[in-house]
Amino acid sequence: PVVRYMEYEYASKEFAGMKTQFMLGEMLRSGKKIGKDLKKAFEWYALASQQGHIPSKHCLAGMVYDGEGCKRDAKRGKELFEEVAKGGYAPSQMVLGAIYVGEGVEPWMAVKWFELAAEQNEQYVPYIANYLSGFMPEKAFEWRLRAAQTGDPNSQYLVGKMYERGNGVDMDAEKARYWYQLAAEKDHIKAVDALRNMDKYQKRA
pTM > 0.85: no
pLDDT means per 10 residues, the chain with 205 residues, are 49 66 93 89 94 96 97 97 97 97 91 96 93 91 95 96 96 96 97 94 75
| Alpha-carbon span 105 to 24, nearest angstrom | 37
- Cα dist from 98 to 52, 118, 128, 158, 167, whole Å: 24, 13, 9, 20, 21
Question: What pLDDT is attached to residue 1?
Answer: 35
Question: What pLDDT is attached to residue 8?
Answer: 56
In angstroms, how far is the first alpha carbon of the chain from the final one?
67
| Alpha-carbon span 69 to 45, nearest angstrom | 11
